[in-house]
Amino acid sequence: QVQLVESGGGLVQAGGSLRLSCAASKTFVVDVMAWYRQAPGKQRELVASMPRGGSALYADSVKGRFTIDRDNTKSTWYLQMNSLKPEDTAVYYCNARTFGLDAWGQGTQVTVSS
């Protein structure tokens, strides 16, 4: 069993930046790592994903502002969020998928004030 722990959320003014981290409890091969978010009253949506050996994909709403990357040596991946907007306010979840595994973090709150 793998546990994922997010960190880095918080309160930031519009136009500011945050960097979310997702640390896995053990090293394993991740086929797809991703970040999702869920705003109050809305469905969880995919923000960014990166397949192993592939290119990152982003939701249209965050393209050019968010960047997903990873540190394989630490089994950690990140979401750099720049030019934040109030509509980015949500609980952000990291996700890791591989054969036989679909792991989720507990979520970290991001609040962007106008």
Instruction: Name which of 108, 104, 89 is nearest 34 in CA terms.
Output: 104
CA distance between the termini of the chain: 40
Contact 3, 99 (CB under 8 A): no
If you compute the radius of gyration of the chain from its CA atoms, what whole number of angstroms results?
13
Chain segment 33-80, per-residue pLDDT in tens: 999 999 999 999 999 999 988 899 999 999 999 999 988 777 889 999
The two structure tokens encoding residue 108: 């970290």
Residue 27 predicted with pLDDT over 90: no
Looking at residue 47, its amino acid is V
Considering the chain, what is the average pLDDT of its residues? 94
CA atoms lying within 13 Å on the CB side of residue 13: 0
